[in-house]
Amino acid sequence: MAYEITLLTTMAISVLFALSLNFITGFCGQISLGHAAFMGVGAYTAATMMKASISLLFVIPVAAVFAGVLGLLVGFASLRVRHDFLAITTMGVVFLFVGVVRQQEFLGGEIGISGIQQSVLGRTGFMLLCVVLAGVFAGFSLLVKRSWLGFVFDSIADNEDVSQVLGIDVAKYKLFAFVVGTATAGTAGALYAQHYRFVGPDSFGFVESISVLAMVVVGGIGSVWGVMFAAAVLSVLPLLIQFVDDYKILVYSALLFSMMRFSPDGLAGIVQRLLNRVRNR
């Protein structure tokens, strides 16, 4: 049972993290290849505070705020650059984040921060906290999708210039998406620090940014349920397919590739097609 708790916690954190990217990329159409940096900000903030014996429940909001502030800055960058330029700029953010963090003695430099204490919640309690936070944000995402906010996001994702001409203050909306998405990533980061009780510069690099993007795309970009499912599965897939051993990553990447190649709209797309087929019978 204990191991299952670990898996569930891992899944819940990934779901929260993936949904936070989905908010920016799936909803508002702003592609980010550097999302792990924001998780990193949250994780480092939390790790430093927890080392100073500050309670997890206080740590989480602070981590969210720190990540959100950085998110706001990157959001401003997104007002200058677009599309592929934005993708690479955000990618730059994650490299810069890792590069800066690894030079900071107070953040443990290359070595990172370890020996973080377990919280008072215990492993089960912590798992429940993670699941609840992921659930709450999923609910919020679903709400946004139904609201006019979601409608405006659709139009910005579609064409920013046209949105302007329809009287939409694109900049405000983009900043909003960035702040919400990155603050949530910061929250996931705080949970990460508690869960692994270790943070290091390499834990929040480009590879992690791509993994989370893969979760969003495999789930079906913009689809809340799809992204949740994909994040849950992909986060533990490497552990589940341990038995293929040496071929683990090969299998993982082959699955990812096939998914893109044969169902580019993700799991959500597959489900949609199946539903259509059933309905058309």
Q: Residue 237, Cβ neighbours under 10 Å: how many?
A: 16
* Member of 72, 82, 131, 270 binding other proteins (CB under 8 A): 82
State in angstroms the smallest separation of the CB of 191 from other proteins: 13
What φ, ψ does residue 199 adopt, rounded to 5°?
Answer: -135, 140
* Member of 54, 250, 274, 275 binding other proteins (CB under 8 A): 250
- Answer yes or no whether residue 124 interacts with other proteins by CB under 8 A: no
Region from 47-55, 57-65, 124-132, 257-265 binding other proteins, contact rule CB under 8 A: 257-265
The backbone region for 128, taken as left when phi is positive above 0, alpha when psi lies in -120 to 50, beta otherwise, is alpha
| Interface of this chain with other proteins, residues 50 to 79, rule: CB under 8 A | 77
State in angstroms the smallest separation of the CB of 14 from other proteins: 11
Structure tokens at 175: 């900043």
Q: Percentages helix, strand, coil for the chain, rounded to the nearest 5?
A: 85, 0, 15
| Interface of this chain with other proteins, residues 1 to 40, rule: CB under 8 A | 2-3, 6-7, 10, 25, 31
- Answer yes or no whether residue 246 interacts with other proteins by CB under 8 A: yes
CB 42 within 8 A of CB 67: yes
Kindly write down the DSSP assignment for every residue of 14-77, as one continuous string.
HHHHHHHHIIIIIIT----S-THHHHHHHHHHHHHHHHTT--HHHHHHHHHHHHHHHHHHHHHH
- Answer yes or no whether residue 105 interacts with other proteins by CB under 8 A: no
Inter-axis angle of helices 170-196 and 148-158, nearest 10: 100
- Name which of 161 and 277 has its Cβ closer to other proteins: 161
State in angstroms the smallest separation of the CB of 206 from other proteins: 6
| Interface of this chain with other proteins, residues 179 to 238, rule: CB under 8 A | 195-198, 200, 202-203, 206, 208, 210, 213-214, 217, 221, 236, 238
* Member of 54, 136, 142, 254 binding other proteins (CB under 8 A): 254
- Answer yes or no whether residue 95 interacts with other proteins by CB under 8 A: yes
State in angstroms the smallest separation of the CB of 218 from other proteins: 8
Q: Which residue matches tokens 């869960």?
A: 195
Structure tokens at 214: 């893969």
| Interface of this chain with other proteins, residues 136 to 165, rule: CB under 8 A | 143-144, 146-149, 151-152, 154-155, 157-159, 161-165
Query: Residue 168 corresponds to which amino acid?
Result: I
